[in-house]
Amino acid sequence: IKNAPVPFFIRPITTRVAAGIRTNYLDPNFDTTFAFLEEQIKTSPGGGKYMCGPHLTAADILISFPLIAAKGRGELLPKEKYPALRAYADMLEEEEGYKKSIAKVEEVDGKFSAMV
């Protein structure tokens, strides 16, 4: 509702509601989830670089989109607060399969944007 097409005199109301939702619900949930994932990456089985160990798994693929999208919105996944998670997201973006999927999306749609 933050960017909803509403009359100009309603805009302050929708902006305030959106800010309240983000402050009271979304941000605390992002922090809880990212803190958990940060710890998971740091304690990956066998000292692996992926979520479940030394090899890429479905878990890494599933978590890649929300992390890369959050990384694109720097304030959601600040490097200072979540250094291991940011490095993990950077590493996932460098995976050959990820690069191929981006190329395919760009071929079909003409552009790619990871967004939340």
Q: What top-level class would CATH report for the domain 11-109?
A: mainly alpha
What distance lies between CA 96 and its chain's CA centroid?
Answer: 19
The pLDDT tens digits for 76-88 are 899 999 999 999 9
Q: Tell whether the model's pLDDT for residue 67 goes beyond 90.
A: yes
CA dist., res. 86 & res. 91, Å (int): 9
Q: Tell whether the model's pLDDT for residue 66 goes beyond 70.
A: yes
CB atoms within 10 A of CB 86: 21
Average pLDDT over residues 57-72: 93
**In the numeric block, which tokens belong to residue 14?**
């929708």
Q: Tell whether the model's pLDDT for residue 116 goes beyond 70.
A: no
The pLDDT tens digits for 9-62 are 888 888 899 889 989 999 999 999 999 999 999 999 988 899 999 999 999 999
- What pTM, to 2 d.p., does this model score? 0.80
CA dist., res. 75 & res. 114, Å (int): 15
Output the 3-class SS for the chain.
Answer: CCCCCCCCCCHHHHHHHHHHHHHHHHHHHHHHHHHHHHHHHHCCHHHCCECCECCCCHHHHHHHHHHHHHHHCCCCCCCCCCHHHHHHHHHHHCCHHHHHHHHHHHHHHCCCCCCC
